[in-house]
Structure 1
Amino acid sequence: MDESTKRLLQRLIRRIPTQMLRTTLDKWGRLTGGQLHSMDFTQSKWALTEKLLAICEENKFAVKHITELEMIYIIDNPNQGMWYAFQLMDPEDDAHSVELTQFKEQFKSHLRELIRHVSVKMKKHTDEAVWIRIAWGDTFSRPNHMKPTYVVHSLQTPYVFVTSLTSKQKPLLSQALVLSTRYQAIKDANLSGRKLTAIRDLLMRQYHQVFPTRYPTPLAENNPAVSNQHIEREQAESAANRLQAACEAFGGGMLPQLQSAVYKLETKFRDHSNKTMTEREEPFRCVVKFASTNLLESLRHCASSGIASTPVTPLLSSIPLKGKNYFVITDNGPGPSSQMRQPQK
């Protein structure tokens, strides 16, 4: 193995938790039973790395084998880095008939027409999603496998999820995706997060939605608080209505674990006591960010417990309703940004 391949393997082994290393190597399937047995997984990470380096050199593994191992780990542990959602637009008549083999061939072909040095590896996951690993180079340099871009796309949907994509690489990837999927355009879905499954479930509505009903039945809290029975009886109707409204706005049961929602304000400043700001011709600009380990769950709890008023403001209910967590608010009303956000550098 050359030095760059060794560095790639060393970095990868450092990333994989020791308790997951044996399972990941088993899935890789590149080591013999004897080689796996010779590794003592109770040793330090440094010792394990040196042992695995020696085995890989003995087997004469190349960079393609190491990137294969990396893909196995990333697919099983996707919640690393920031994922951005995109939506393919205006499908052609044969867009829904594109199959995996055709997509693979055309994607690689189109991307290599756009950039001379690029390495593309694809793997189909058990949930039918196609995982793509792209190592980018340029006209004069070889692909940099230390900073790959990962793309996840289910062929029968218009949604694409991307991590570690620079603004320079974005138009190249966009064009290759549009051409190989038989769509005519691609746009930013204004949805991002560190949990791939969360933004995927939110965008594809793969969670328990609660719809308005004329005769609402009180929904049970997952962990109802113990309270005075007389007070509970008096407030039962209003509490049930709050819970119903909260679940209609954000969903019932387990919710996608979004970590944040961002609102960018570009509105006229309105305050008669502050003429300096009110008379400005330029719009008032600021950014408001809500953050939580599970934002939708937190917002639902605020509404159901009475901390926040119901019915829920459209500014918040638009997160699950529109499948977005990035909004630009203008004097015309709230809505998704018309501008493309800068991806992760």
Structure 2
Amino acid sequence: MDDPSQRLLRRLLRRIPAGNLKTTLEKWGRLTAAQWRTIDFTQTKSSIVQMLAFCAENEFTMKHITELEMMYVIDNPNKGMWYAFQLIDPEADSQSLELTQFKEQFKSHLCELVRNVSVKIKKHTDEAVWIRIAWGDSYSRPNHLKPTYIVHHLQTPYVFVTGLSPKQRPLVSQALVLSSRYHAIKAANLSGRNLTAIRDLLMKQYQQVFPTRFPSPLSERNQSVSNPQIEREHAGHKENRLQMASETFGDGMLPQLQSSVYKLETKFRDRANQTMTEREEPFKCVVKFASTNLLESLKLCVSSGIASTPVTPLLSSIPLKGRNYFVITDNGPAPSSQMPLSQN
């Protein structure tokens, strides 16, 4: 086993939590029965030393080590920041694309663009195609310590990427467009550390509630009454808030989106500060909402009355458009006191 393989294996073994190491290696299945029996999983440092020795003894190559890493990343995807993209303008036969065709074409197109690149593609049990790319250039071998991971469901236009630099993005975009039989790709303005959450939000894979004039099913689920007199007095307002919260953000288990960012590029308006108000250039700032589960938090604010109803488009656009990055600009030459805001 060469030095790059040893460095990658050592780093990977340190990343895997001690409690998960045995299960991960079992799933990998590359060690012999005799080697397996001698590993002491109660001592993390000892097990790492033993693993390094066994892998060298078995003459494992980079192919075997990246297989282990890919297996771990697929089972534990929430270790980095994921960015969503959307393929647009499909060709007529894009829906009939098979995995074998996609794999061959993606590798072929990317290798034509980059001389030294290592590509590994694996289909997961949920039908997602996982792609691992280690980048090199004309003068260096692929760097397996800083790979790019891509997740793509072949029958959808959605792509999720982590570990991709601005320099590499055009290369991946071109390879994806050509191999998926689309004509272009664009950023979906959605990102987060929870891959499942941003996938479910973008692909609408969560329980949604649609507008209705008959909210009785919702009222039946919310019949806990602590004070009947107060409940009767406020029943109408409460029912309306609950219905609007569910219609806007969904019901049941919501995708665990962790943040939403609003970039403001608007005129500054404050009668007490004429210096800033009279500036011709727009006032720029960034507002970020963050929570362990942002959609659930916003839904609670609406249903409890903390946030007003109807829900502002700035918040309702998160689940409606499947985005968590917005640019807010002035819209048209209306008077400053009445000038509306638009979302791009």
Residue 336 of structure 2 is matched in structure 1 by none
Residue 31 of structure 1 is matched in structure 2 by 31
TM-score by length of 2: 0.94
For residues 28 and 224 of structure 1, do their structure 2 counterparts lie closer, same or farther at Cα, with a shift above 3 Å needed?
farther
Asked if 1:230 is matched to 2:236, the reply is: no
Offset of residue 282 of structure 1:
0.5
Supply the distance in 1 between the matched residues of 2:56 and 2:108 (Cα, whole angstroms): 32
Amino acid at match of 1:23: T
For residues 289 and 223 of structure 1, do their structure 2 counterparts lie closer, same or farther at Cα, with a shift above 3 Å needed?
farther
Contact 1:13 1:49 in 2 (8 A): yes
Supply the distance in 2 between the matched residues of 1:310 and 1:186 (Cα, whole angstroms): 36
Aligned length: 335
Residue 207 of structure 1 is matched in structure 2 by 206
Amino acid at match of 2:34: G
The correspondence of residues 191-270 of structure 1 with structure 2, limited to 5 A, is 191-217=190-216, 219=218, 227-270=226-269
Residue 121 of structure 2 is matched in structure 1 by 122
| Identical pairs, percent | 74
Amino acid at match of 1:31: L
Supply the distance in 1 between the matched residues of 2:224 and 2:19 (Cα, whole angstroms): 38
SS in 2 for 1:145: strand
Contact 2:194 2:257 in 1 (8 A): yes
- Any unmatched runs of 5+ in structure 1? 337-345
Offset of residue 222 of structure 1:
8.4
The correspondence of residues 328-339 of structure 1 with structure 2, limited to 5 A, is 328-332=327-331, 333-336=341-344
Residue 132 of structure 1 is matched in structure 2 by 131
Contact 1:81 1:163 in 2 (8 A): yes
Amino acid at match of 1:323: G
TM-score by length of 1: 0.94
Supply the distance in 2 between the matched residues of 1:112 and 1:223 (Cα, whole angstroms): 57
The correspondence of residues 1-345 of structure 1 with structure 2, limited to 5 A, is 1-43=1-43, 45-217=44-216, 219=218, 227-332=226-331, 333-336=341-344
For residues 3 and 222 of structure 1, do their structure 2 counterparts lie closer, same or farther at Cα, with a shift above 3 Å needed?
farther
- 1:59-99 superposed Cα distances (whole Å, 9 cap, x missing partner): 10011100000000000010111000000011111211211
Offset of residue 25 of structure 1:
1.0
Offset of residue 284 of structure 1:
1.0
- 1:266-289 superposed Cα distances (whole Å, 9 cap, x missing partner): 112223332212211101111100
SS in 1 for 2:137: coil
Supply the distance in 2 between the matched residues of 1:19 and 1:40 (Cα, whole angstroms): 12
Supply the distance in 2 between the matched residues of 1:169 and 1:302 (Cα, whole angstroms): 41
Residue 343 of structure 1 is matched in structure 2 by none
SS in 1 for 2:190: strand
Offset of residue 293 of structure 1:
0.3
Supply the distance in 1 between the matched residues of 2:88 and 2:56 (Cα, whole angstroms): 46
- Any unmatched runs of 5+ in structure 2? 332-340
Contact 2:225 2:231 in 1 (8 A): no
Amino acid at match of 1:4: P
Amino acid at match of 1:335: Q
Contact 2:207 2:253 in 1 (8 A): yes
Offset of residue 23 of structure 1:
1.3
Supply the distance in 1 between the matched residues of 2:269 and 2:216 (Cα, whole angstroms): 42
SS in 1 for 2:131: strand
Offset of residue 137 of structure 1:
0.5
Amino acid at match of 2:343: G
For residues 209 and 229 of structure 1, do their structure 2 counterparts lie closer, same or farther at Cα, with a shift above 3 Å needed?
same
- 1:216-257 superposed Cα distances (whole Å, 9 cap, x missing partner): 226269898773332123222211110101111111111000
Residue 339 of structure 1 is matched in structure 2 by none
Supply the distance in 2 between the matched residues of 1:225 and 1:25 (Cα, whole angstroms): 49
Root mean square deviation, CA, Å: 1.5
Amino acid at match of 1:327: F
- 1:167-200 superposed Cα distances (whole Å, 9 cap, x missing partner): 0111111111011111111000000000000000
Structure with larger RCO (C-alpha < 8 A, sep 6+): 1
Contact 2:134 2:146 in 1 (8 A): yes
User: Which stretch of structure 1 is more off in the superposition, 279-288 or 322-331?
Assistant: 279-288
Supply the distance in 2 between the matched residues of 1:216 and 1:226 (Cα, whole angstroms): 18
Contact 1:218 1:243 in 2 (8 A): no
Q: Which ranges of 4 or more aligned residues in structure 1 deviate by more than 4 Å?
A: 220-226
Amino acid at match of 2:39: M
Amino acid at match of 2:248: A
- 1:103-125 superposed Cα distances (whole Å, 9 cap, x missing partner): 00110010011010000001100
